[in-house]
Amino acid sequence: MIAFLKLLFRNRLAAAGALVLTAIVLVVLLTPVLPLQNPDATATADRFQKPFSQGHLLGTDHLGRDLLSRLLHGTRLSLAVGVAAALIAATIGSAIGIVAGYFGGRIDNVIMRGVDMLMAFPYILLALAIVAALGPGLMNALIAVAAVNVPFFARNIRGVTVGLAGREFIDAARLAGMGHSRIILTELLPNVLPVIIIAMSTTVGWMILETAGLSFLGLGSQPPQADLGSMLGEARSALISHPHTSVVPGLMIFLIVMSINLLGDGVRDALDPRLKSGALSRPRATTLVDRKGDIPERTDDLLAIQELETEFRVGRRTYRAVGGVTLSVRPGECLGVIGESGSGKSVTALSVMGLVASPPGVIAGGAVRFQGEDLVGAPYETLRQKRGDRVAYIFQDPLSTLHPLYRVGRQLAEAIQSHHRISDRQARDRAIGLLRDVRIPNPESRIDNYPHEMSGGMRQRVGIAMALANEPDVIIADEPTTALDVTVQAQILSLLQDLRRDRGLAIIFITHDFGVVGQLCDRLAVMYAGRIVEEGPTDDVLESPAHPYTARLIACVPELGGGRRELAAIPGLPPVVDDLPPGCAFAPRCDKAQAACRQGVIPLEGQDTRAVRCLYPETDLSGKEVAR
């Protein structure tokens, strides 16, 4: 709750709205005890007194009634009616929406078509019809306004409920023996409540306006009772001669609605998990760079990641996702980067082309050199030209990386045309050629498919074709086969292998699967808690892992053909990277850890191609077993 308020008041407009609204509500609540004149006492002799006149701070209206008193009483009534209407509409509308969304099928259909019919009338016409049927009066105006707004809530809440009703925890509740009404009340409602509050906060202002509108037309509050709408209505005839009688209630309506809307938007932004996570703050085109210390010298490698440090700065916390990683690839080489979730392998990959979302991502040190040129801190235009052209990415989920509304051919052509000036015709031919290269059958007709018309394996082939579109030198593949079935995975891996052989592509292959690495990669780097703990030729590392983490991780992975067995496990959990222990990050889970492991910085050391970050490695790096 406190976190929510903090978040809410960080938004200055929402804070201002809250302030104004609180002031108005306080004054209005105190109105009965304030020394005000009777709002309905007429004094025709004093009619149309100017503001700041004797005894009447805001002047008087056409019957000589005190405007200040009428304004406060009127605001009180208007607010009460608006909020009541919102509560009624929210309760009825949400109930309808939850029931329709939860049961679905025929019930949903009947309810929602009824709601649609209600929505088909212009709202003011509907409200007029309701008031006409029930007769004028504030209570009837309230009913009309509430009824008119029920569909808004019903549709909103139904949409959210449909998404929630398919979630697994609802199935779990049914298996735990809960009935429908209990599921609705205890499982769905608490999850829908924030949405109801958001919808209410953004509609209360609107409902106050609608009530005022009905009163303005003479259908709401009846004289002499004052509410903001009727005050405006009565002042209308004197608008030119005595403008203050209209301006006073008009200004109050403006203040109330404006403050409620600003606060409502703030509440929505603070409650909505998507907006809360920073969807509103548009990420920059490249990752922020804030490098301290020296920039490493250039090397001869095709792509070299040197001492790279990438952090996420969230509030006062700094998550060191990548803590000094050095990697390199030569043409035609495949480097495997293996690690569990949170080990920093994906962030390393995204840092190469400055694709880490900023804020909160910051590259805090090191360099990324492509053919010797430092890409960290390079101008956006340099990076843009190299992205997809020299260094291309393949991501895990092709369904979320392909645009759902464009045909795949169009997307491929766009990838080519953003780097090369060629005609649409040529781009299309090239796209067909690419689809053929990734062995999509019948590419001439497949090119006009939308992504949803293809299977997962086919979509990933399109993703690879797109990465190949500009004949890059390096492909960074981030778990490209994790979402695929094994038979499809085998096809995709052999495709990557052929492309590498035929085109001399360098591949950085990020995965958590030792089997895949063993088949595809020449060299292997193992990451843990943002650092490389071991690297070397794939076969050597897999056969005689030097770091205890590598050894135990390999033991955790069951291999086909091993039969029924007890699996090895690593106790504990990987550390959170905002508070890494000194020394070896694996020490708390390692059964060989000594006091020395828990202090200082342990370097990545080794000979030739192999290196390990461990004081007591499993094998020394000439290949012999170390005595334990």
Partner 1 sequence: MTALKVENLAKTFALKKPLFGAAGPGVRAVRPMSFSVETGETLGVVGESGCGKSTLARMLVGLLEPSEGVIEIEGRALDTADPAAFGRLIQYVFQDPQSSLNPRKTIRQVVESPLRRLYRMSASDREKRIGEIFASVNLREDFLDRYPHEFSGGQAQRIGIARALAADPRIIILDEPVSALDVSVQAQVLNLLADLKAQFGLTYLFITHDLAVVEAVSDRIVVLYFGAVVEIGKAEKIFSAPRHPYTRLLAESAPKVGRALEAPEQKDTELPDPLNPPPGCAFAGRCPRATALCREKDPPLEQMGEDQFAACHHPLDT
Which residues of the chain form contacts with partner 1 (CB under 8 A)? 167-169, 171-179, 182, 186-187, 190-191, 340-341, 439-441, 455-458, 485-491, 493-495, 497, 512-516, 518-520, 542, 552-553, 556-571, 573-574
Cα gap 533→325, rounded to integer Å: 10
User: To the nearest whole angstrom, how small is the minimum distance from the Cβ of residue 498 to partner 1?
Assistant: 9
Q: Judged by CB, which is closer to partner 1: 373, or 485?
A: 485
CB of 170 to partner 1, least distance (A): 8
Q: How far apart are CA 305 and CA 352, in angstroms?
A: 7
Strands 506-511 vs 523-528: parallel, antiparallel or unpaired: unpaired
Question: What's the CA angle centered on 565, arms 559 and 569, to 5 degrees?
Answer: 75
Q: What whole-number distance in Å separates Cα of residue 325 and Cα of residue 336? A: 14
- Comparing CB distances to partner 1, the nearer of 184 and 355 is 184
Contact 381, 464 (CB under 8 A): no
Reduce the DSSP state of residue 598 to 3 states and report it. helix
Residue 565 CA to chain centroid, in angstroms?
42
CB of 550 to partner 1, least distance (A): 11
Dihedral angle of Cα 553, 557, 561, 562, to the nearest 10 degrees: 60
Q: With respect to partner 1, which residue has the nearer C-beta, 270 or 524?
A: 524
| Cβ closest to partner 1, residue 169 vs residue 380 | 169
Rounded least distance, CB 172 to partner 1, Å = 5
Q: Are 520 and 336 in contact (CB under 8 A)?
A: yes
Q: How far is the CB of 555 from partner 1 (least distance, A)?
A: 8
CB of 161 to partner 1, least distance (A): 14
Which CA distances in Å does 506 have to 303, 346, 382, 479? 9, 17, 21, 16
| H/E run at residue 488 | helix 486-503
Q: 125: how many CB neighbours lie within 10 A of its CB?
A: 10
CB of residue 182 vs partner 1: minimum separation in angstroms? 8
Our CB check for partner 1 shows the closer of 379 and 571 to be 571
**Closest alpha carbon to 580 in 342, 264, 252, 327:** 342
- For residue 542, give every residue at least 6 positions away whose Cβ sits within 8 Å of its Cβ, in sequence order, or none: 514, 517, 518, 524, 554
In the complex with partner 1, the residue whose CB is nearer, 374 or 397, is: 397
Tell me the C-alpha distance between 219 and 129, whole Å: 11
Nearest residue (CB) to partner 1, 183 versus 367: 183
Rounded CA separation 124/115 (Å): 16
For the chain, percent helix, then strand, then coil, each to nearest 5?
50, 15, 35
State the number of CA atoms in the 13 A half-sphere of 268 facing the CB. 16
- Burial string for 161-173 (b: 16+ CB within 10 Å, else e) reads beebbeeeebeeb
In the complex, least distance from residue 481 CB atom to partner 1, rounded to whole angstroms: 9
For residue 179, the minimal CB distance to partner 1 (Å) is 8
Output 31 or 191, the one with its CB closest to partner 1: 191
Those residues with Cβ within 8 angstroms of residue 279's Cβ, 6 or more apart along the chain or in another chain: none
Q: How far is the CB of 56 from partner 1 (least distance, A)?
A: 53
- Two structure tokens written together for 40: 């309905």
Let me know: does 554 contact 338? Beta carbons within 8 Å.
no
Phi, psi of 152 (to 5 degrees): -60, -50
Question: Measured from the CB atom, is 564 or 624 closer to partner 1?
Answer: 564
**CB of residue 428 vs partner 1: minimum separation in angstroms?**
21
Taking the C-alpha atoms of residue 255 and residue 12, their distance in angstroms, rounded to an integer, is 16
- At position 463, the amino acid (one-letter code) is G
CB of 518 to partner 1, least distance (A): 3
Q: Write down the least CB distance from residue 300 to partner 1, Å.
A: 28
Pick the closest to residue 311 from 363, 270, 263 (CA basis): 363
- Between 46 and 534, CB nearer to partner 1: 534
- Cα distance between residue 67 and residue 49, in whole Å: 9
CB 89 within 8 Å of CB 152: yes
Min dist CB 459 to partner 1, Å, is: 12
